[in-house]
């Protein structure tokens, strides 16, 4: 097979993004595909066998496209582009005021694929892996495209150790503090004004898990966040709310249970029963998928190592 170099014309911003600081991104691409990548000016040169060049070219073009949109490119973005080039996976999720919400890790790409294919998806893993944000982005996209009539977000209200009835205000005022991460994600995706309008029209609804009892949720996308704090009975109840044309995503970290009796948590129990059932997807995130401050990944790893040493999880 020919190993003649192939030159790809790119903008200066795209070339810088493909190369990366100290040529770190270029090194990742070279290692992944077994090619030689150089930036002689005005673009990128790829040398290697035809198949390797073709895959590397896809990764380079994906990175260049994001760079030309003015998006920052980090190592996580490069690794995702590499993974997608190897697997042929599509990546970006078009929604909202910022254009594209794209996966930053291979697990995030798998998660988005599961959300598009399955009626019910469980997203499990530590904080900072994008479980909630990507679920909100996917649900907002369905709502904007008219594929669902409502976006419903629910979360067990147990973090503060208080009962909702003792908190001041109406239902929205009682629940909003528990839903802050979801509202932040929706505001980031839709913008404050569109979010306000859709809430007023009832297209975006917030409700604690207990308030879903007795309802059938049809033509809706339901997000159950922090589900490790739902009891087994609550989990069974909420999973059986699915009605015609409805889809659901359940997110949580089984190692961060705030219930008085952690054994009551319904998340791990539900996954153990339902993993492998047709129409249900289970995606597990790890410390490698943390996309917040780099220190968060190191913190998660330290706690995971301690839990393994002690033979238990926190």
Mean pLDDT computed over every residue of the chain:
82
Nearest to 132 by CA among 124, 144, 143, 141: 124
107-155 pLDDT, tens per residue?
888 898 899 889 999 999 988 888 988 899 889 888 887 889 999 998 8
Q: Is residue 92 part of a domain?
A: no
For residues 213 and 278, membership in a common domain is answered with: yes
For residues 147 and 13, membership in a common domain is answered with: no
User: In terms of pLDDT, which residue wins out, 101 or 254?
Assistant: 254
For residues 193 and 46, membership in a common domain is answered with: no
| CATH code, domain with 304 | 3.40.50.300
For residues 138 and 52, membership in a common domain is answered with: no
pLDDT, residue 130, reads: 85
Q: Is residue 75 part of a domain?
A: yes
CB 125 within 8 Å of CB 119: no
How far apart, in whole angstroms, are the C-alpha atoms of residue 299 and residue 313?
Answer: 14
3-state secondary structure of 267: helix
End residue of a domain, out of 40, 58, 87:
87
Residue-range definition of the domain harbouring residue 31: 6-87
HEC secondary structure over 132-176: HHHHHHHHHHHHHCCCCCEEEEECCCCCCCCCHHHCCCCHHHHHH
3-state secondary structure of 293: coil
Show the tokens assigned to 277. 């059932």
CB 127 within 8 Å of CB 253: yes
| The model's pTM | 0.63
- Cβ burial, residue 232 (10 Å; 0-12/13-18/19+): middle
What is the mean predicted confidence (pLDDT) over 152-167?
61
How far apart, in whole angstroms, are the C-alpha atoms of residue 101 and residue 56?
Answer: 23
19-51 pLDDT, tens per residue?
999 999 999 999 989 999 999 888 999 999 988
For residues 129 and 176, membership in a common domain is answered with: yes
| CATH code, domain with 45 | 3.30.1370.10
Q: Is residue 94 part of a domain?
A: no
- Exposed e or buried b for every residue in 131-150, given b needs 16+ CB within 10 A? bbbbbbbbbbbbbbeeebeb
User: In terms of pLDDT, which residue wins out, 29 or 286?
Assistant: 29
How far apart, in whole angstroms, are the C-alpha atoms of residue 178 and residue 154?
Answer: 9
For residues 211 and 268, membership in a common domain is answered with: yes
Domain count, the chain: 2
């Amino acid at each position: 097979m020919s190993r003649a170099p192939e030159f790809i014309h790119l903008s200066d911003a795209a070339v810088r993004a493909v190369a990366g600081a100290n040529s770190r991104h270029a090194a990742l691409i070279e290692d992944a595909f077994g090619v030689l990548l150089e930036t002689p000016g005005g673009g990128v040169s790829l040398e290697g066998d035809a198949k390797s060049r073709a895959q590397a070219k896809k990764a380079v073009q994906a990175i260049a496209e994001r760079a030309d949109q003015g998006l920052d490119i980090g190592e996580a973005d490069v690794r995702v582009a590499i993974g997608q080039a190897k697997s042929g996976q599509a990546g970006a999720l078009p929604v909202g005021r910022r254009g594209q919400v794209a996966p930053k890790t291979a697990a995030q790409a798998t998660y988005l694929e599961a959300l598009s294919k399955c009626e019910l998806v469980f997203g499990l893993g530590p904080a900072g892996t994008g479980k909630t944000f990507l679920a909100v982005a996917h649900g907002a996209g369905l709502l904007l495209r008219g594929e669902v009539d409502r976006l419903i977000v629910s979360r067990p209200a147990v973090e503060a150790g208080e009962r909702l009835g003792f908190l001041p205000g109406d239902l929205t005022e009682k629940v909003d503090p528990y839903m802050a991460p979801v509202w932040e994600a929706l505001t980031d995706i839709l913008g404050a004004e569109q979010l306000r309008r859709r809430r007023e029209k009832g297209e975006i609804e917030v409700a604690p898990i207990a308030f879903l009892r007795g309802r059938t949720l049809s033509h809706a996308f339901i997000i159950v966040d922090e589900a490790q704090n739902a009891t087994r009975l609550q989990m069974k109840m909420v999973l059986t709310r699915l009605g015609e044309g409805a889809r659901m995503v359940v997110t949580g970290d089984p190692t961060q249970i705030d219930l008085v009796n952690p054994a009551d948590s319904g998340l791990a129990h539900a996954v153990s029963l339902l993993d492998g059932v047709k129409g249900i997807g289970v995606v597990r995130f790890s410390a490698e998928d943390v996309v917040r401050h780099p220190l968060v990944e190191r913190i998660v790893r330290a706690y995971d190592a301690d839990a393994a040493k002690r033979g238990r999880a926190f």
